[in-house]
Structure 1
């Protein structure tokens, strides 16, 4: 509404200008002629100008009416466009999705997930940030992210308000240059690793992995203390290719095809903390809902697990005195 003029008044004036007759205009609008005449008169009073000349030959816009009608048509176009945009936003077709993720998630499953999401929602703007798992969880709790992909369950203040579901299992492997003595082996042991120069994720990037390795090497942590650290699996592989040492990382590193490195398992087998997708339980954003639909379709076994976690969180939230988790 502009002053006392509503969108329907604009439509009435446009119909009258098109039909040049109150009776025909009223019929096209599906209303009786007297109410249309009264509404046009009311608009003229509101505008303070005579918009139409009533003549025996028909009803025609005045100069003021022509100017009014030009604006009216543009206003109705804007209203129509606003309705379309509102519908698109409600369906999650426009808007913003802010995601924090650890680098190894770019090997799998994020390429498939983000690729499909971009294909189905090309007008959604993506704000993507590589972060450590603790950083991403903290930013999610603070409201600076909409989705976090990290390793292990989020911890710390506010983590109980998050919904978290595993989206990928993994285990620890080693990578060496093809000139290294371990090249060609299917597996190596932790005892063998203890005598090597190691390349691994920085403890603040992968705290769960660092804690496990520290427990494994508890008798002698020299190799860990002297390790070269990185925040990116590509750097770990690159340094291993330079024969700087033995790189340690997730098995999904095998997805990186290079002819100058060799991957081998580490025994005893160590399952890394799962890759986890987290979001705030009270986030009702249509863009987030659309993203979760893509995750359901792209990540095996996630769909049913996600629905189970959401249902459990809803039940716990409904019971006074319980903490959702």
Structure 2
């Protein structure tokens, strides 16, 4: 039994005449009569009464036609759903991210993506950079946003592009001696109690800080650990110590803390967006298209990385098609 048999039966029930039904279907009457007879044999019941007044569904035909209408509607819905999924208009996007990415650029990107793809379910998880990379490699995430280039087994299969630059700043309580200063030197931080992200959460930043302090890294050994920038600022406000973090922390300005630059200016490892090079998900493609539209300089870097990545070009996929750009994603 094929979909056309259901359409034939519904047309005959609507027009109550073989000739008129055949004309509405664009076929001749004899083939329609033959197809309806074959359908009745397959069902094992007479579906239509042929009378001099017209052709009318039997009780069995009425029951059959009710199901046929629903079946055709489901088939039409299946075609629609398949098209929407292929265009990245439905499905799920799993993202892991570090907290500071929520200050910029994720608010603009996620907001625009959700407005353009309201039926895509966003599965968002805050996690440290190493955990995000591990989950991405394991297939538990579709996108990871962390600080520093991904490392470890499987990282070679990822496409990574920088999405934000930061330099190091300090945050102190408004009552701290550093409050009111525009900048503080690294040499002045050596004697302070510091508040930093733990090394297991942000190893790139921890390693960077240790290289800055060099032999005088003891402040880091006795530093208070804070999982995210909100905690760094909160502990600084409590007078626990001097918080160190990215300059985007200034977006969380509050009355009881003071931000100042660290000199000489120290650039932190970039925020990086990563995904699996072999991932052909239309939802991922739609998300990356929004990234391109929202952060144009990031889009050009992303395309450059894709063009060079061997995994993105494998299996006969050209760099331009490695992550397709669904129609209407912008």
Structure 2 length-normalised TM: 0.93
For 1:301, which of 294, 297, 303 is the aligned residue?
A: 297
Number of residue pairs matched by the alignment: 316
**SS of equivalent to 2:268:** strand
State the Cα deviation string for residues 51-90 of structure 1 (Å, max 9, x = none): 0011111110001000000110111111111111111111
Task: Spell out structure 1 runs of 4+ moving beyond 3 A.
Answer: 314-320
| Counterpart among 269, 276, 279 of residue 280 in structure 1 | 276
RMSD: 1.5
Following the alignment from structure 2 to structure 1, what is the Cα–Cα distance between the partners of residues 91 and 219?
A: 47
User: In the alignment, is residue 203 of structure 1 matched against residue 199 of structure 2?
Assistant: yes
The residue correspondences of 1:114-193 to structure 2 (distance < 5 A) are 114-193=110-189
The structure 1 residue matched to 2:2, chosen from 3, 6, 25, is 6
Could you list the runs of 5+ residues in structure 2 that have no partner in the other structure? 317-330
Report how far residue 217 of structure 1 moved. Answer: 2.1
| Residue aligning to 1:246 | 242
* Corresponding residue SS for 2:96: strand
- Please give the secondary structure, in 2, of the residue aligned with 1:301: helix
State the shift of 1:313 in Å. 1.6
Question: Which of residues 11, 16, 38 is equivalent to 1:15?
Answer: 11
CA distance in 1, matches of 2:296, 2:73: 45
Structure 1 residue ranges without an equivalent (≥5): 321-325
Residue 72 (structure 2) pairs with residue 76 (structure 1): yes
**Contact 2:278–2:312 (CA<8 Å) still a contact in 1?**
no
Specify which of 74, 81, 88 is matched with residue 85 of structure 1. Answer: 81
Q: Give a deviation string over 1:129-160, Cα, whole Å, max 9, x none.
A: 11111111111111111000011110111111
**Could you say what secondary structure the match of 1:170 adopts?**
coil
TM-score of the aligned structures, taking structure 1 as reference length: 0.95
Q: How far off its partner does 1:318 sit?
A: 5.0
Deviation at 1:319, TM superposition (A): 10
1:174-217 CA deviation, whole Å, 9 max, x = no partner? 00111111011111011100111100100111111111211222
Give distance in 1, aligned partners of 2:255 and 2:269: 29
Instruction: Indicate the residue corresponding to 1:310 in structure 2.
Output: 306
Deviations 1:202-241 (A, max 9, x none): 0111111111211222222221111001111001001111
Match of 1:260 in 2: 256
Q: How far, CA to CA, are the matches of 1:172 and 1:56 in structure 2?
A: 91
Q: Equivalent residue for 1:113? A: 109
Cα distance between partner residues in 2 of 1:138 and 1:129: 13
Contact 2:12 2:21 in 1 (8 A): yes
